[in-house]
Amino acid sequence: MGRLLVQLALRLPCDRNVFAFINLAHELGLYVIVRPGPYICAEWDFGGLPAWLLSDPLMAVRTLYPGFFEPARRYLNDILSRLRPYQYSRGGPILAFQVE
């Protein structure tokens, strides 16, 4: 199995447009694994979570606490419904989703 290495500093006209990136990957015959979050990784401040979550003194992030869970659920429902047409099973390049 071969692999394609992409320069990390890659800049595209569609910079920060996930849908343009997915379309470009599809045009190039590449597959995509999407990590929509809401927690992205430890390398980002607060794991990529929005800082406004900290304004709630009872906040318990990455739990079922309603102040976290409900906004996370709404976000994931929205983004995953937008990404659905790009799934491999629907002819798109997305092979998998890694959800927090």
Structural domains counted in the chain? 1
- Side-chain-side CA neighbours of 63 within 13 Å: the count stands at 8
Q: Which domain holds residue 52?
A: 18-99
The reply to whether 31 falls in a domain is: yes
Burial of 74 (0-12, 13-18, 19+ CB in 10 A): exposed
Rounded Cα–Cα distance for residues 75 and 55 (Å): 19
The reply to whether 79 falls in a domain is: yes
pLDDT digits (tens, 9 = 90+) for 48-93: 888 899 999 999 999 999 999 999 999 999 999 999 999 999 999 9
Q: How far is CA 71 from the centre of its chain?
A: 15
pLDDT of 31 above 50:
yes
Please report the sign of the dihedral spanned by the C-alpha atoms of residue 93, residue 79, residue 5, residue 9: positive
